[in-house]
Amino acid sequence: YIGDSVDLDYNVISNCQYLESSFLETLRLRPSVPHLVRYAKTDIPLPTGNIIRKGNGIVIPTFAMGRMPWIWKDPLKFNPDRFNDKNQKYSPSQYPAFNIPPRLCLGKHVALLEAKI
């Protein structure tokens, strides 16, 4: 709760961390893009001996990743506080709601700001 007499400006809205964490947690469980597709630019040898051939498509299941217990503790529980924990940072590869490197969403901060407004 911000209060009735506070003028909303960029700094006030930017400091609504729990609201932002709620949006991030919602996107973890219900991503706007349920899967991503990438194509190999070169042959990629895997530790198993298999090879991802140049041009092969790779599907990144973002919807399923939000429910994987080896990535998320208690993955089916809606818990915005997981994004407020300063000791736990999630990489874009673990949390691909805003794409994965090298194509991270340039509008992430603007989208979160608009959602807060």
Contact 60, 38 (CB under 8 A): yes
Question: In this model, does residue 4 exceed pLDDT 80?
Answer: no
Give pLDDT, residue 92.
Answer: 79
Give pLDDT, residue 52.
Answer: 96
User: 66-106 pLDDT, tens per residue?
Assistant: 999 999 999 999 999 999 888 888 887 888 888 887 778 88
Rounded distance between C-alpha atoms, residue 78 and residue 96, angstroms: 17
User: 14-33 pLDDT, tens per residue?
Assistant: 888 999 999 999 999 999 99
Element containing residue 113 per DSSP (H, E) = helix 108-116
Contact 19, 25 (CB under 8 A): no
Instruction: Categorize the per-residue pLDDT at 35 as very low, low, confident or very high, splitting at 50, 70 and 90.
Output: very high
Question: In this model, does residue 64 exceed pLDDT 80?
Answer: yes
Whole-model pTM: value is 0.82
Residue 31 CA to its chain's centroid (Å): 8
Question: In this model, does residue 2 exceed pLDDT 80?
Answer: no
DSSP 58-88: EEE-HHHHTT-TTTSSSTTS--GGGGT-TT-
